[in-house]
Structure 1
Amino acid sequence: MTAFAFIGAALAEIAGCFAFWAWLRLGKSPLWIIPGVASLCLFAYLLTLPSADQAGRSYAAYGGVYVAIAVLWLWLAEGAKPDRWDLLGAVVCLVGTAIIFFGPRGVNGN
């Protein structure tokens, strides 16, 4: 469930932000804002679903997934093939996500 929530949240966040990018930087219609805002609302909702015990920890773990999905977006939506540094950076971020989310913690989360 957590992986799907993070992936969905990343796609929704990137799509929502891209809608504003398209309007402000690519000259698209201001109507792009409507689905962009809806997508950002979906992002916020999806980020509440993971079972992390604190919001900040969930957000920190999500960050690595966001980076990896953004590199995928770069390739699939924008047509720019990621280079080895993009891919290495995404892998490092996903390792960080795993450490944050799955690291052993005591009773108080420490």
Structure 2
Amino acid sequence: MQNLVVFFAAAFFEIAGCFAVWGWWRLDKSALWLIPGALCLGLFAWLLTLVNVDQAGRAYAIYGGIYIVASLAWLWAVESTRPDRWDMLGSAICLIGAAVILYGPRSG
């Protein structure tokens, strides 16, 4: 359960950091948006080191599925656009894949 909390926290900070750059570049926001954006991206990277997974690549693969779900939550909560059924189906497939990678039995 701790891994899931860390993965979702990392996703929030990555999306927030990237959105800050998006805001500066695409929405004509102040370049000052880049400061909290950089801090959020640094926090995201640090958070991923806290998950209880032995290999970085496996942690990133699991995170990918969670990132997709968190991105759609951001779409709805921050950008006021409700995900459609295809968004939901795709994110469910990704979460299933992430769960297989996270909880699958490992030899050795």
Superposed pair shares fold, TM > 0.5 = yes
Take 1:5 and 1:59, find their aligned partners in 2: how far apart are those partners?
12
Structural mapping, 1:36-55, within 5 Å: 36-55=37-56
TM-superposed CA distance for 1:53, in Å, is 1.2
The answer for unaligned runs of 5 or more in structure 2 is none
Take 2:40 and 2:50, find their aligned partners in 1: how far apart are those partners?
16
User: What is the match of residue 15 of structure 1?
Assistant: 16
TM-superposed CA distance for 1:23, in Å, is 0.2
Q: Secondary structure at the match of 1:53?
A: coil
Take 1:45 and 1:20, find their aligned partners in 2: how far apart are those partners?
19
Matched AA of 2:14: E
The count of aligned residue pairs is 107
Please tell me the root mean square deviation across aligned C-alpha atoms, in Å.
0.4
Take 2:86 and 2:74, find their aligned partners in 1: how far apart are those partners?
16
User: Identity of paired residues, percent?
Assistant: 55
Take 2:31 and 2:41, find their aligned partners in 1: how far apart are those partners?
16
User: What is the match of residue 89 of structure 2?
Assistant: 88
User: What is the match of residue 76 of structure 2?
Assistant: 75
